[in-house]
Structure 1
C-alpha cells in the first residue's frame, strides 16, 4: 500500500492501486473456519446447565468447559503463527481445520466431564493452528482496498461470532441436544476443507530445522498463559488471596519470565523482539485483549442473569442476544465508513466509551428487570461500541507486516483475542462473585451489577490507552509502515 502524506495534520486522499482483483473464495473459506473458532468461545454458555446435568458436573467445574478451550488456543497461538510462517500456510490451515473438526465431533460423543474438557482443549490447540494461518493467508493474498475490506470482515466475525454463539447454543440445546452444538461443526468443517483444498494455492517451502520452531519458547509461553488463565478462573471458587491463587500467579509469572529470557537468547525466537517495536500491532493487540474480555465476560454474566434471575430458557436467552449481535454488525459498518474520515484511535476510543456507558446502564438492572426496558438498551449500546472497536483494531494492527512475519503477527494479535476472552470471563466472574454466588438468585442480581461496573472501568482504561497508543493517522495512511 502507498503512503498518504498529511497536510495540516489531516491525511490526504490517495488513489488505490488499480490491478486485477483476487477472488473472494479464499476469504470465504478463511471466514468460515474463523466462525467455527469464534463460535466455540461462547456457544457452550447457554448449554452449560444442560451439560452439567447430563455429565453430572459440579457448578464450579462448568467454567472449565469454556476455559479449557481458551487456555489452549490463547497459549498456542504464537507457536501456531510461527508454524504458519515456516511451513506451507495452506497445509497448516487445512491441518488445523481437520483437527478442529475431528475434536468437535469427539466433544459431542463425550460421556464424562473429563473427556469433554480434554476434547475442548484439543479444539483450542487446533484453533491455535487454524486462526493465524487463516489470517496470514488473507493478508498475503489480498492487497489495497480488498485487503482492508477482508480485514474489516475478519474483525466483524471476531466480535459478532461471540454474541451469535449464545443464540446458536440456545437454539440447538432447545431443539435437539447439547451434543449437536459440537456436531454441527462437522459438516461445516468438512465443506470448508473440500473447498479450501481447491481454492487455496499450493506453496513451495523448504523444510526448516527443528531449532527454527523455538520449542523451549513455545513450552514456556503456553504453560505460563495456561497457568495464568487457570488461576484466574479458579479465583471465583478459592478467592483472590488464597494460597492456591498466590501460588498459581507466582508460577505463571516465573514461566512467563522464563519465556522472555528464552526469547532473548534464542537464535530464532518464537516472537522476534523487534516486533514489539511495531506500535500499531502491539497497541492493537492490547485493545483487542481489553474489548474481547469485556465482550465475552459480559455475555457470560448476562446469560447467567437471564436464566437465574429472569427465568429465561436457553432458547429465550439466545434470542435475547440477537439484537446485541445485530448491534455489533451495525457498529462494524459504522466504523468501516468512519475509517475514511477519522483516525482509528478516535474510532476505537469512542467505541470503548460507548461500551463503558452501556455497561454502567446494564449494571442498574434490578431483580425484577424487564428485558426491553432494563437490558435491551444497554446490550444494544454495548454491541454497537464493541463493533466500532474491532474494525479499526483489525485493520491497523496488520498494516505494514511483511509476508515473512504475517503468521507470527497474526498469532500475536489473536493471542490478545483469545487470552482477552479467557481473562474477561475469569476477571468479571471473580468480581461478580464478590457480591455472592452466581448460582443463587440474589447473588446473580448483585454479582451482575458489580461485574458490569467492573467492565465499565476496564472499558474506560482501555479507551484512554487506545487514544494515546493507537495510530494517529487513518488506516490507509498508516499502511505504509514496514517491519525492519
Structure 2
C-alpha cells in the first residue's frame, strides 16, 4: 500500500477541508436557483428535479468505487483528478445553453466529487495518526463540511438574486483552484510497497449499479410515488445487486469493500448513525427553507441569511465535540448531540402559519445546530476508528456513501410524509402542517441515532486498538498481501 503522504499536516487539513466545502456547497447552492433556471433554459417541470438528482445519483453511486480507487492509486492523485474534473464540469454547467447540458454537467460534478471526497478524508487518515490530533482534524473537516451545506442556501440566494443563476455553478471555480493549490503543496505520495492490487471490477459494477439504482429509485419518488411499479421494481433491482455485491465481496481476494470492516462496532455503528443523522439533517434544512419561503413569505436571499445562526451554532457544537471526543470517546459527544438535535427539531415542529423568524426559527436553529455539530465531528472519527491506513479510502467511501444515502432516502421519505399531510391544498396553513409533521419525524430519527450510539458503539477506545486493522482475518488466499 501507499506510505503516508509527505507534507505539512496543516496544509493537508486545509486542502481536505476546502475540497469538502465545495462538495457540500454544491449539494444546496443550486436549490434556490431552480425556479430561475427553469425559466432561463426552458426546463420541463418534470425534468427540473434532475438538476439535483443528476448530482446525487453519480455522487452517491460511485463513492465506494472512488474510495477503493484512492487506496489503490493514491489519495492525492484521486483528490487532484476529482477536483479538476469537478471544476471543469462546474464551468460547463455555468455556460450551459440547454437543459441536457446542465444536467450532464451536474452528473459530471457528482463523478468528480465521488473520486475526491473519499480521497480527502482518506488523506487526513494517512497524515494524522489515530488519536487526539486526528479527532481535531476530523472536527475541522466536519465543521467545514456542514458549514458548506448550510452556507450553500445563503450563497444560492445571494448569487441568484444579485449575480445571476450561472454563478451558482461558476462560484465553484475559485474554490476548486484554491483546493488544488493546497493539494499540490501537501507533497507527493510515497512509493508503493508490496504486490500491486487490482481493482475489483465485478464488485465495482455491482456496487455502483446497486447504490445508483437505490438513489435513482428514491429520488424519483417525488413524481412517481413509493408504491408505483417503477419505484418498486427499481428498489427491488437495487436490493438484488447489493445482495450480489455482498456475496461477491465475501469471496473476493481483493474486495472493493472488505466486509470485515463491518464487524467493527465502531465502523458499523457510525455508518448506521450517520445514515440516520443525515436523513434528519438534510430533510430538516429542506423543510425549514420551504417554511420560511412558502409560509413566512421570505425571499431567497433573506432565507439564506436566516441560516447563518444555524451555521454559527453548528461550528460551536463541532468545537465542543472535538474537545469531548479527544478527551473521552466519540460516544461521549454523539449521545448528547443526537438528543439535543432531536429536541431542536421537536421545537421546530411547533412552527405556525402566523409565526416569524424570531419566534419560530431562531431558537430551534441554535439548539439544532449545536446538536448536529456534536454529532458530525465525532461520527467521522468513529467511522474510521482502528482502520488500517491501507483501507482509509475504503472506510471513507463507505462513510460518505452512508451519509449520502441517508440524505437522499430521508429527504424523499419525509417529503412523502409532508405531501400526505398537506394533500392537494397549497395554502400556508396546509403547507405548515406538512412541514411540521416532517420535522417531528426528523426529530425521531435523531432519537434513533442516539439509541444506536448507546447500544452499538463501545464505551471506550480499548475495544479498537489504535492504528490497527479492525479485523485480522481477510478474504485473501494465503501467501497474498
Query: Is the CA contact (8 Å cut-off) linking 2:67 and 2:394 kept in structure 1?
Result: yes
Matched residue, 2:19: 33
Query: Is the CA contact (8 Å cut-off) linking 1:296 and 1:424 kept in structure 2?
Result: yes
Counterpart CA distance in 1 for 2:293 and 2:414 is 18
Name which of 303, 306, 310 aligns with 1:324: 310
Matched residue, 1:46: 32
TM-aligned CA distance change 1:320 to 1:131, over 3 Å: same
Query: Is the CA contact (8 Å cut-off) linking 1:154 and 1:394 kept in structure 2?
Result: no
Verify: 1:260 aligned to 2:246, yes or no: yes
Aligned-pair CA distance for 1:438: 9.2
Name which of 273, 277, 283 aligns with 1:291: 277
Matched residue, 2:161: 174
Counterpart CA distance in 1 for 2:463 and 2:123 is 20
Counterpart CA distance in 1 for 2:467 and 2:213 is 38
Matched residue, 1:191: 178
Query: Is the CA contact (8 Å cut-off) linking 2:309 and 2:366 kept in structure 1?
Result: yes
Verify: 1:204 aligned to 2:188, yes or no: no
Q: Give the match's secondary structure for 1:435.
A: helix
Matched residue, 2:295: 309
Which deviations, in whole Å up to 9, do the C-alpha atoms of 1:244-273 show, x marking residues without a partner?
A: 222122121112112122222323111012
TM-aligned CA distance change 1:220 to 1:482, over 3 Å: closer
Alignment of 1:234-253 (within 5 A): 234-253=220-239
Q: Give the match's secondary structure for 1:311.
A: coil
Counterpart CA distance in 2 for 1:478 and 1:430 is 43
Name which of 205, 216, 219 aligns with 1:233: 219
Matched residue, 1:6: none
Verify: 1:224 aligned to 2:210, yes or no: yes
TM-aligned CA distance change 1:141 to 1:46, over 3 Å: same
TM-aligned CA distance change 1:195 to 1:242, over 3 Å: closer
Alignment of 1:305-454 (within 5 A): 305-340=291-326, 342-436=328-422, 440-442=426-428, 443-454=430-441
Query: Is the CA contact (8 Å cut-off) linking 2:132 and 2:326 kept in structure 1?
Result: no
Counterpart CA distance in 2 for 1:51 and 1:451 is 27
Query: Is the CA contact (8 Å cut-off) linking 1:47 and 1:170 kept in structure 2?
Result: yes
Computed over aligned residues only, the root mean square deviation of the Cα atoms, in angstroms, reads: 2.4
Out of 228-237 and 28-37, give the one that drifted further: 228-237
Matched residue, 1:80: 66
Counterpart CA distance in 2 for 1:417 and 1:471 is 21
Unaligned 5+ segments in structure 1 are 1-19
Aligned-pair CA distance for 1:298: 1.2
Which deviations, in whole Å up to 9, do the C-alpha atoms of 1:394-422 show, x marking residues without a partner?
A: 22221221111111111111111222222
Query: Is the CA contact (8 Å cut-off) linking 2:334 and 2:374 kept in structure 1?
Result: yes
Matched residue, 2:455: 468
TM-score by length of 1: 0.90
Q: Give the match's secondary structure for 1:163.
A: helix
Name which of 266, 280, 283 aligns with 2:266: 280
Aligned-pair CA distance for 1:156: 1.4
Verify: 1:115 aligned to 2:101, yes or no: yes
TM-aligned CA distance change 1:396 to 1:437, over 3 Å: same
Query: Is the CA contact (8 Å cut-off) linking 2:321 and 2:373 kept in structure 1?
Result: yes
Counterpart CA distance in 1 for 2:346 and 2:75 is 43
Counterpart CA distance in 2 for 1:413 and 1:274 is 15
Unaligned 5+ segments in structure 2 are 1-5, 473-481
Which deviations, in whole Å up to 9, do the C-alpha atoms of 1:147-183 show, x marking residues without a partner?
A: 2211111121222221111111111112201111110
Matched residue, 2:42: 56
Counterpart CA distance in 2 for 1:432 and 1:130 is 34
TM-aligned CA distance change 1:37 to 1:315, over 3 Å: same
Query: Is the CA contact (8 Å cut-off) linking 2:60 and 2:215 kept in structure 1?
Result: no
